[in-house]
A = this chain, B = another copy of it.
Amino acid sequence: MRADARRNRSAITSAALLLARERGEAVSMEDIARAAGVGVGTLYRHFPDRRALLEDIAVDTLRELLDATRAEVGRTPAWAALLRIVDHCVALPLALTKSLITSEPERPELPELEVEINALITKIAAKAQREGDLRADVPPTEVVRVLNVAVCRCGARADDHLTRVVLDGLHTPKN
């Protein structure tokens, strides 16, 4: 792939990611192209269609989240690791990602990545339980779903009030 082609591809991806976060799934191809500083034709050279472009963003998103999550596996305390993961999610268009996964995506990586990420988080959650920071009555697999709820509304941060309250439902306060 030529240097300019690579530059274009990444300009498109960045623009789409930005706009998807701002305006949700309703972004138009024309707008993405303009924001990326290229013509629409260039979008279609890099991605066969709209869905492919969005799914590509979602894959990138999840890959990055997978990396961030992997980096937290094994760290102590595990509870702090979970909070850092939540913080990491803030910048990601996870609502778009969710919606794509739900509607039978073309790319198999999407559900696969989700599964992998969830498995890691489950593992970290189990560790947090062993360390006494996570309520023992919550199955670790359930923690993932709660995090989803906490994170998928826009702008969740582990240290804002709302998210704190939601997460505290999971937390075992050290007495």
CB of A146 within 8 A of chain B? yes
Count of identical protomers in the assembly: 4
User: How many whole Å from A68's CB to the nearest CB in chain B?
Assistant: 22
Provide the bound-state CA to CA distance between A3 and B167, in Å. Answer: 52
CB of A138 within 8 A of chain B? yes
CB of A49 within 8 A of chain B? no
Residues of B within 8 A of A149 (CB): 149-150, 153, 162, 166
Pick the residue among B152, B162, B170 that contacts A165 (CB under 8 A). Answer: B170
Residues 137-175 of A at the B interface (beta carbon under 8 Å): 138-139, 142, 145-146, 148-150, 152-153, 161-162, 165-170
User: How many whole Å from A56's CB to the nearest CB in chain B?
Assistant: 22
A146 with B162: CB separation less than 8 A:
yes
Pick the residue among B138, B165, B167, B170 that contacts A138 (CB under 8 A). Answer: B165
Residues of B within 8 A of A152 (CB): 153
Pick the residue among B139, B142, B165 that contacts A146 (CB under 8 A). Answer: B165
A142 with B166: CB separation less than 8 A:
no
Residues of B within 8 A of A167 (CB): 169
Q: Can you spell out 12 A-B residue pairs with CB atoms less than 8 angstroms apart?
A: A135-B168, A139-B161, A142-B162, A142-B165, A146-B162, A149-B149, A149-B150, A149-B153, A152-B153, A165-B170, A167-B169, A169-B170
